[in-house]
Amino acid sequence: MTKHLSEGERRAQILRASRSVFVEKGYLAARVQDIARRAGLSKGAVYFYFASKRDLFMALVAEEHENTYSFLDQADADERPAVVKLLDLGQKYLDYFAGLKSPPRFFLMMTEMAVRDDEIRNDVVAVHSRFVAAAASILAQGMDEGTIRRGDPEAMAQMLKAIIDGLAGQSAIGIRPDQQRLLDGGIQFVLHGIVAPRGQG
């Protein structure tokens, strides 16, 4: 007999099982029956909450994006100077990757599926575009404030997103970020740029 859970708790239970099975078996080999067994439920119980295996996968894709959207919403509402906002954004991502209980392998699986599936690719591209737009806005703010060197804010934002994706990929294979070291050296290096001020080279 399964424990009575709220609808939200039951969905979360099924999604946890789905994530585990998808990562272990791959999308094509995973079956709803495998997910139900991992969750300790009947297949019918899984179908009560999710119409198909694809719906389960897409729900996990949405979960992957929730943290990014949350971080960007907070940055949008932040009225502090641009450099402070960028540091805060970097801190949030470092905290997120360092705080995960297990490597974020679904991130790599989702990216792999995006190569083959238009709907997943569109979702991934939408998140990428939103991050680039938000980061470019912060960078442009910093240029206006005189605290960030002049340049193409969108190109700079794309590079920042590439760094975050790289951290996610490293974390997915078990390379956890050294938070303090990256905060003290890595993020400062990115913010200040590669070329040292004149006289320090």
pLDDT tens digits for range 29-73: 999 999 999 999 999 999 999 999 999 999 999 988 888 888 888
Establish whether domains 1-51 and 53-192 are of one fold: no
- First-to-last CA distance in the chain? 70
pLDDT at 5 over 70: yes
pLDDT for the residue 35: 97
Rounded to the nearest 10°, the torsion over CA 64, 65, 69, 75 is: 70
Residues of the chain with pLDDT > 70: what percent? Answer: 94
Task: Using alpha carbons, select from 110, 95, 101 the residue that is nearest to residue 18.
Answer: 110
User: 95 phi and psi, to 5 degrees?
Assistant: -60, -40
Rounded Cα distance, 193 and 178, in Å? 21
Mean pLDDT value of segment 176-187:
78
User: In this structure, how many other beta carbons lie within 10 angstroms of the beta carbon of residue 98?
Assistant: 15
pLDDT tens digits for range 68-97: 888 888 988 999 999 889 888 888 888 888
Instruction: Name the residue ranges covered by the structural domains of the chain.
Output: 1-51, 53-192
| Close Cβ partners of 174 (under 8 Å, ≥ 6 residues apart) | 103
| Whole-prediction pTM | 0.79
pLDDT at 195 over 90: no
Q: How confident is the model at residue 200 (pLDDT cuts 50, 70, 90)?
A: very low
Write the single-letter amino acid at 107. F
Q: State whether CATH 3.20.20.450 applies to domain 1-51.
A: no
Rounded Cα distance, 35 and 16, in Å? 9
DSSP class of residue 41 equals S
pLDDT at 198 over 60: no
Per DSSP, the residues of 88-124 read HHHHHHHHHHHH-SS--HHHHHHHHHHHH-HHHHHHH
pLDDT tens digits for range 13-29: 999 999 999 999 999 99
pLDDT at 3 over 70: no
pLDDT tens digits for range 143-173: 898 888 888 999 999 998 998 899 888 888 8
Domain topology for 53-192: Tetracycline Repressor; domain 2 (1.10.357)
Contact 171, 104 (CB under 8 A): yes
Mean pLDDT value of segment 187-197:
64
pLDDT for the residue 2: 52
Task: Using alpha carbons, select from 180, 13, 12 the residue that is nearest to residue 90.
Answer: 180
